[in-house]
Amino acid sequence: MECITVSQARYVQDYRIWIEFSTGESGEADLKELVFKFPIATSLRDPVKFAKFHLDEWPTLAWDCGFDVDPEYLYEIVTGKPTPEPMKEMLR
């Protein structure tokens, strides 16, 4: 089974990003809680800086400050579905 990756993403507003996954599923993720939880993301509390993300080599959302978000976690936020079990086994 293939790993879930981010195919496309675009900034919506505040801390929300629209994301499309390699599965074809898509939707918005509100990442405010993550940005305020992790010290590495402190600079991203400014929505202007938050909006300047890119897709890294995984690919997933990443920022120049070194903060990135696991694509499987983003998938769970957007779809409300857990990552498929066979994929979880591969990640261990």
What pLDDT does residue 89 have?
46
Sorted by where each starts, the structural domains of the chain and their CATH numbers stand as 6-91 (3.30.2020.10)
Q: Is the pLDDT of residue 88 over 50?
A: no
- Kindly report the pTM of this predicted structure: 0.86
Give pLDDT, residue 3.
86
Q: How far apart are CA 26 and CA 19, in angstroms?
A: 5
Nearest alpha carbon to residue 71 among 13, 16, 1, 3? 3
